[in-house]
Amino acid sequence: MSLAIKQVVSTSVNMVEAAMIPSPDRAAIRALARRSESDIVAELRAALATSSASVDAVTRRGLDLIRKAKAEGERETLVAQLMNRYRLSTEEGVVLMCLAEALLRVPDNATANALIRDKIAGRHWAEGDDDDSPLVVALSARGLSLGSATLMLDAMGSKAKPLNLLKSMIRRSGEPVIRQAALAAMKLLGQQFVMGETIDAAVKRADKEKSELASFDMLGEAARTADDALRYFDSYAAAIARIGKGAKPGDPHANHGISIKLSALHPRYEYLQTARVRDELIPRVIELAKAARAVNIPLMIDAEESDRLEPHVDVFAALIDAGIADGWTGLGIVIQAYQKRAPAVIDWLANRARARGVKLSMRLVKGAYWDTEIKRAQTLGLSDFPVFTAKLHTDLNYMRCAQLLRDCQDCIYPAFASHNAMTLAFVAELFAGADYELQRLHGMGEGAHDALVALFPPPRPVRVYAPVGTHRDLLAYLVRRLLENGANSSFVHQFSDPDVSAEQLAVDPRSVASAASSNIATGLELFEPARRNSRGYDLGDPGVPEALVAAIGAARRADLVAAPIVGGVARKGKADPVRNPATGAVVGQVIEADAATVADAVAAARKARDNWSLAGGAFRAGRLERAADLLEEHDALFLGLAIDEAGKTLVDAVAEVREAVDFLRYYAAQARADFTYPVALPGPTGERNELMLEGKGVFVAISPWNFPLAIFLGQVSAALAAGNAVLAKPAEQTPLIAHAAVELLLEAGIPGDVLHYLPGRGETVGAALTSHDDIIGVAFTGSTEVARMINRSLAGRDGPIATLIAETGGANAMIVDSTALPEQVARDAVASAFQSAGQRCSALRLLCVQDDVADTMIEMVAGAMAELNVGDPSILATDVGPIIDDEAQANIAAYVAEARAAGRVIAEATRTNLPAGGHFVPPVLIRLDHVTDLKREIFGPVLHVATWKGGELDALIDAINASGYGLTLGVHTRIDGVAARVAARAAVGNVYVNRNQIGAIVGSQPFGGRGLSGTGPKAGGPHYLHRFAEEKSISTDITAAGGNAALMAG
């Protein structure tokens, strides 16, 4: 399917019914989303060249600002001074951030002590002379140095003067003193960012600052549960009422205001959940906006990640349509200049305002999620980024947005949020004589803003973005601020550096040349030069999922028949229906291979194996890479089969196809590198020693139904790449997608006598293959029981000793300690346990939570689970699809019923829309008394929960290891030592720290288990391909041919 897919108009009502129909009037916005950064920047520079704010004028104004601000250095933010001491370019700066992020929410002292030890031991905290330092900097340094000294007694010496003074007290008091010192330091740091712990305290504090206004932000990140969303709504409503008590009539921008986050008001605020956003979120936001209008305080809709931009605009448009802005200028929205689409969004909103005859307000910011945006685009395999990759380009876009706002003063009241003196200078020059306001973050940017007010007074008071909440609520906000301002490229950071002069800082971005190209790899470039990454799709980009749906609909075929293919020719026979597990509808037919077909395939493969091996790695690699290209070209067909035959959601189907492409290219690259030429080995002069790899012979690939394309092609392509002939047997539930894959490989140039397709049941086709004397190896993914059967079958033959590469199941656990962030645990546990209806070998089966925080953690996981939509995967809003067949569904349902009868069910998902004829089990949480109570793998959407006591981590790991399974294990902790200990002691193949434990990336996270979970080596890793190969050593005496010429010449 070509990149023109984004132009396709959706025709499949079924899959589109839960998604937004793209609005044609936003074409300009969408055109900028993935446009070349260099092209956009060229246009920005051209537009800015006509600005009334010249480079010379802005530079002069900026230099004046910076000189005055530096002269008034004592007024500069305390946080900036702290960041200047502990920069994020140092280990200590990162440690400081980690402590701030975790320490304040640890409930038990033992874990708090462990966190202190982990983060401080071995670091070199600069002590310096604290006499002239502000209290927060001094105390932070003192607390951290104190901890370092306590834990590294041997480092104490006469050179560390402050430590000598405290040495006896440290030895006497120990870790509790350190903990309290560090807590005090972190709390003081937090107070620099938080206006007040309650809205009442924050308003009173803000009222004392007569020269400034505030826009209050109720701290808290995205809601994970419905209860979270309700709590945030109530918090916003109460804040609006309290702020409004002191508001004056008339101009709302003369009053304090409030900023609200839409993701805090709904746990599923995302593009594919548009129906719920429309029906549930928008009414809540309208209610808050009406309340703000009633008391005349400005309400600003805060900005979030780029994939929420259009839902963001949708909600704001709904507020306009609801009449909130009619006759009132207090309704506002935040726009991020690091997003490429920002200028087009401003134009769009201006047109909406003019059409309605209203005046809106807008806060222009640079953006706070840059690293997240870059990683997301890379992970999705996108060809570009939605944000600029260079800070310079963000600055240019900010200036262009300001230029647009200067021309929109009839319909938009602008506010400019920045701590960059040169940005402020540009705005002041551009808006001379016009109405606007400046904004800054509480606790930051005072110096530059004070200087501007003194030198070039803006028409209105500076507005402070003022967080409100407890220290526990501060965490994520604090981390973002530290990252923004601790980065060496940050203006705030450079401004605080005494070695950077005012002249060095006073540079207009227009006078700086752009780099020829970005050094940040796009998603497609991520693994170059070794191979090209698989192409992905951003399903949060309006128009993309709809276009995919249309392409899938066009690629669907009603005449699919998965017949055996031997020697490149399809065999005939009795056809049986293949059914959609979600609906029971027939999606194709399958003809099972009989004994004669199996025998013919083995014989043909045996004859072809030697020539295929002798063809060489480069020859084979070229054909596999051609297959990868064909798979991307025809991905709509395979996406549709993954949905219709395997019951996958579109999200999972895209990931499935991408993984298959990655396997093809990864193993092709390895074949070219390792199987093309022999490796020279050392030896005496006059002798040539070489080691070469070649195929083993005839390999059988037996793949599962849960990854019917990715694992199928992974096994087959590895065996082919190593030089083997292959007999491919797909799972009996999913023969159609495997058949299409084999046809594609044959089209790519794999010889028909080298690759054979043999669908059928395990007890017939599988048994015949694994017992055949001519089979040299089997690659198998499935249950542990079947792997044992295959092992016994291979061992009982009279043929050569065969190779078994098996990847089986696992009772996969996630360990959560009391330093873990509940929101992250809920996100990762729910994804790991319930994505793909829990039908992944890697899926989370057992959540082990430290008992100190168990109630909160489990409640949040249950709440997040409750938000999942269960039903037909062909509907875009569906999160959890069907169980693969009625037998599997019945087994899981019986297990859940038994747990329910025993009173062990904690919660069950209830958002279901189940088609008749499908096989479904809604997600469920089941409580266990102990981790050892989980006796076997339940292959479905069932998550067990058990608790463990702090201090008993080793016993927990031992109990998990005792199950005998060893596939994946997750750990959520902010203590590096805990993560390292778990990783070292856990007898598993894959360990995942502070993330989900599914979706291993080929080449980045080689996948495979040990013990009852598999034999290894890991699929998608550097050692896998060699397991399919034989080694041959060749030693040649070259003295008869004249000896070593180089030696004789010497």
* From 429, 446, 807, 823, the catalytic residue: 807
DSSP string, 78-98: HHHHHHHHS-TTSHHHHHHHH
Burial (0-12, 13-18, 19+ Cβ within 10 Å), 607: middle
- Alpha helices, H only, 87-174: 91-102, 109-120, 135-151, 161-173
To the query of whether residue 98 is one of the catalytic residues in this protein, the response is: no
Q: How many CB atoms lie within 10 A of CB 36?
A: 11
Distance CA 464, CA 466 (A): 6
Query: Hey, is 1045 helix, strand or coil?
Result: helix
Q: What is the DSSP letter of 1007?
A: B
Strands of 569-633, DSSP E: 569-570, 575-579, 586-591
For the record, the structure tokens of 440 come out as: 């800054």
Amino acid at 865: M
Give the full edge-to-edge strand order of the sheet including 1029-1037.
Answer: 679-681, 687-695, 1029-1037
Distance CA 939, CA 351 (A): 53
Q: Are strands 687-695 and 331-336 parallel, antiparallel or unpaired?
A: unpaired
- Are 782 and 755 in contact, with CB atoms under 8 Å apart? no
For residue 970, list its beta bridge partners: 814, 992
**Closest of 376, 552, 555 to residue 16, by C-alpha:** 552
What b-and-e string marks burial along 515-533, b requiring 16 or more CB atoms within 10 Å of the CB? eeebeeebbbebbeeebbb
For the record, the structure tokens of 645 come out as: 């035959």
- Are 688 and 1038 in contact, with CB atoms under 8 Å apart? yes
Amino acid at 83: M
**Closest of 333, 345, 343, 339 to residue 377, by C-alpha:** 339
Amino acid at 967: L
What does the chain come to in residues? 1050
- Are 821 and 795 in contact, with CB atoms under 8 Å apart? no
Distance CA 743, CA 746 (A): 5
Q: What is the dihedral of CA 954, 958, 959, 962, to 10 degrees?
A: 180
What sign results for the dihedral spanned by CA atoms 996, 998, 1003, 1008? positive
* From 401, 408, 411, 841, the catalytic residue: 841
Distance CA 69, CA 81 (A): 14
Strands of 775-921, DSSP E: 777-781, 803-807, 813-816, 846-850, 870-871, 905-908, 912-913
For the record, the structure tokens of 954 come out as: 């080793």
Q: Are strands 360-365 and 331-336 parallel, antiparallel or unpaired?
A: parallel
Burial (0-12, 13-18, 19+ Cβ within 10 Å), 887: exposed
**Closest of 349, 336, 286 to residue 308, by C-alpha:** 336
To the query of whether residue 841 is one of the catalytic residues in this protein, the response is: yes
Q: How many CB atoms lie within 10 A of CB 566?
A: 26
Q: Which residue has the tokens 């065969």?
A: 802
For the record, the structure tokens of 709 come out as: 């394309």
Q: How many CB atoms lie within 10 A of CB 168?
A: 9
The distance in angstroms from the start CA to the end CA of the chain is 60
Query: Hey, is 55 helix, strand or coil?
Result: helix
For the record, the structure tokens of 837 come out as: 């209806």
Q: Are strands 803-807 and 777-781 parallel, antiparallel or unpaired?
A: parallel
For the record, the structure tokens of 410 come out as: 């009839």
Catalytic residues: 807, 841
